[in-house]
Amino acid sequence: MLGGGSNSTPWTRIARNMNLRIFLIFVNSNLIGKMRKTKIIVSSRSGFCFGVQRALNIAKGALKKGKTVYSLGPIIHNPQVVRDFSKKGLKVISDIRKVNSKGVAVLIPSHGISPDVLRKKRIACIDTTCPLVGRVQKIVQDFKRKGYFVIIAGDRKHPEVKGLVGMAGKNSHVVKNKKQARALGLKSKKVALISQTTASISNFKDVLSEIAKKDFTELVSFNTVCKDTIQRQKEASSIAKRVDTMFVIGGKNSANTSRLAKACKKVNDNTYHIESGENLKMDYLRNKKTIGIATGASTPPRAINEIIKRIRRFDANGGK
Ligand code: SF4
C-alpha cells in the first residue's frame, strides 16, 4: 500500500508520484481521444488584396510625417481597420470643402474618387487609388474622348463607380444587373461596356449578353473585374461547396465581401457574412464537421485568426 504522511519512505513517495503521472497521462490521452476537432479550410486568397495593402501602407507613411491626415471617405471598406487608423490620427471626412488646406494631407481612398470632388477645392492630395482602378479610369476617359456611350456594370452608390461616372461624363450610364441592362436605351450607337473592379464576373457576362441584343454599330466590352476579385470568388465558391458551414469575413459595407458571400450562399445555404469573431454565433458551428473561411479584399488577416480561435474554443468545450 502506498501510504502518505510523515512515515512514507523515499521509494513510496517516488512510486506515488509515478502513479500520479500515469494517472495524468491516462486522463490526458482520454481527453484527446474524445476531443472534437472541426476541420477548417481557409481560402488561400484571404486577407488584404494588393491594392488595399498598398493604400494602407501609404496612409501609415502619411501619418508618420506628423501632419493632420484626412481620408475622403473610409480609406478602405472595413470598420475595424478604419477604427484602428482613426486611433492613429486618420480623420474621415465626406466633403473636401470642410478641410482647412494648410499643413494637412488628404488621402484619396483605394477605390478612387470623381474628378469633380477635387475641383471643389484645390488641395494637394495623396492618391492611394489602386492602380487597377486607375487603369479602368483611364479606359473610361479614353472611351469618352472617342465619343462612346459608356456603360458601367456596377453599383451606382459605390465610390469607385461614382468616380468612373465622374470621368465618363454625361454620355454614360450605370447598370446594376441584367434587368437594368435590358431596360436601358442607348444614347449612341457606339457603345463601350466596362465593369466595376469588384463586381461579379457572372453578372458582368449577363449584362453583356443583354447589351449585345441592342441596336448598335460598334460594341466594345472590357472585362475590368480585377484578377484578385475573380480568384477570390472562384476559390470561395469552390470551398463553400465542400464544407458544412461557410464564413465570409469582412465589412458589411464592403462590396466585394458582400458579393463573395452571395456567391457562396448560392452553393451553400449555411453561408454567413460576418464582420468579426463577435458576430460568430455558436449555433453556426453546432453539429458541423467542416468549416470554410473566405474574406473580402479589405479584411485584415487577424480577423481570420480570431474566428479560428473561437472555433477551437468551441471544440475544446466539446462543441457547446
Ligand atoms: S480588389 Fe482589385 S481593384 Fe480593388 S483594390 Fe484590390 S486589387 Fe485593387
Residues 145 and 219 placed together within one structural domain of the fold: yes
Beta-ladder partners of 163:
none
Whether 202 and 246 map to the same domain: the answer is no
Q: What is the pLDDT of residues 38-52, one digit of tens each?
A: 999 999 999 999 999
Residue 105 lies in a domain: yes
Q: Of all atoms in ligand 1, which is nearest to the CA of residue 197?
A: 3
16 belongs to a structural domain: no
pLDDT at 47: 93
Question: Is any atom of ligand 1 closer than 6 Å to the C-beta of 51?
Answer: yes
Q: Is residue 270 part of a domain?
A: yes
For residues 211 and 260, state if they share a domain.
Answer: no
What is the per-residue pLDDT across 261-307, written as a single tens digit (0 to 9) for each? 999 999 999 999 999 888 999 999 999 999 999 999 999 999 999 99
Rounded to whole angstroms, how far apart are CA atoms 82 and 122?
26
Answer for the pair 123, 161: CB distance below 8 angstroms, yes or no: no
Note the pLDDT of residue 11.
44
218-221, strands of its sheet edge to edge = 172-175, 149-153, 190-195, 218-221
Q: Could you tell me if 274 and 288 lie in one domain?
A: yes
Give yes or no: residues 219 and 145 share one domain. Answer: yes
CA of 100 to the centre of ligand 1 (A): 30
Q: Is the same domain home to 149 and 103?
A: no
Query: Given the CA of residue 229, which atom of ligand 1 is nearest to it?
Result: 1
The per-residue pLDDT for 183 is: 96
- Count: domains in the chain: 3
- Note whether 126 and 150 are same-domain residues: no
Same domain, 137 and 219: yes
Q: Is residue 7 part of a domain?
A: no
Q: What is the CATH number of the domain that holds 237?
A: 3.40.1010.20
Best residue for ligand 1 mutational test, from 45, 46, 50 (most atoms within 8 Å of Cβ): 50
Does any domain span residue 8?
A: no
Q: Do 210 and 142 fall into the same domain?
A: yes
How would you write the pLDDT of the chain (320 residues) with one tens digit per residue? 333 344 445 544 544 554 444 333 333 444 444 577 899 999 999 999 999 999 999 999 999 987 789 999 888 889 999 999 999 999 998 888 878 767 788 999 999 988 888 777 677 789 999 999 999 999 999 999 999 999 999 999 999 999 999 999 999 999 999 999 999 998 889 999 999 999 988 899 999 999 999 999 999 999 999 999 999 999 999 999 999 999 999 999 888 899 999 999 999 999 999 998 889 999 999 999 999 999 999 999 999 999 999 999 999 988 77
Does some domain include residue 182? Answer: yes
Please tell me the predicted confidence (pLDDT) of residue 240: 98
Whether residues 43 and 67 fall in one domain? no
- Specify the pLDDT at position 98: 78
Domain termination site, one of 184, 205, 225: 225
Whether 278 is a known active-site residue: answer no
Residues 6 or more apart whose CB falls under 8 angstroms from that of 204 comprise 153, 195, 223, 225
Asked whether 230 lines ligand 1 (CB < 6 A), one says: no
Residue 90, ligand 1, Cβ within 6 A: no
Residue 23 pLDDT? 37
- For cell 484578377, name the residue: 227
Pairwise CA distance, residues 126 & 66, whole Å: 15
70 and 120 part of one domain: yes
Residue 31 lies in a domain: no
Q: Residue 79's domain spans which residues? A: 50-130
pLDDT of residue 2: 36
Same domain, 61 and 95: yes
Confidence at residue 30, expressed as pLDDT on a 0 to 100 scale: 42
Span from the CA of 220 to the centroid of ligand 1 (angstroms): 23
Say what the pLDDT of residue 1 is.
36
